[in-house]
Amino acid sequence: MRKRLLQNQKEQKDNLETAHTCYSKLFKEGLIAGLGWAIGVTVGFVTISTILAIILSMLGGLPLVGNWIANIVEATQEQLLKRSPLFNR
């Protein structure tokens, strides 16, 4: 019984310390957590993109993707020239 009472008091003390944390400490912790998250996302994206590019180059798929994007750009430019006579020279 006494052990449980001491444990409850310790938990209450921990809760009070958490509730009364100063703002500068919260800001620092949030800033560090945010930077860590951003760096992790960036490294993960670069890793996945690199692996995907390597796989596509092994399969010979990069020219296909490049041609597909070039076709989209050409079609877009044609549509823009048809719609706006200002650019039609």
CA–CA distances in Å: residue 23 to residues 16, 29, 81:
15, 10, 57
Dihedral in degrees, nearest 10, Cα atoms 12, 15, 16, 21 = 160
Which position has the token pair 């449980």?
4
Across the range 51-59, mean pLDDT stands at: 84
pLDDT tens digit sequence for 6-38: 777 777 777 666 656 788 888 999 999 999 999
pTM above 0.75, yes or no: no
Token duo for residue 73: 């750009």
Token pair belonging to 65: 């993707």
Residue ranges of the domains in the chain? 2-87
Q: Is pLDDT above 90 for 83? A: no
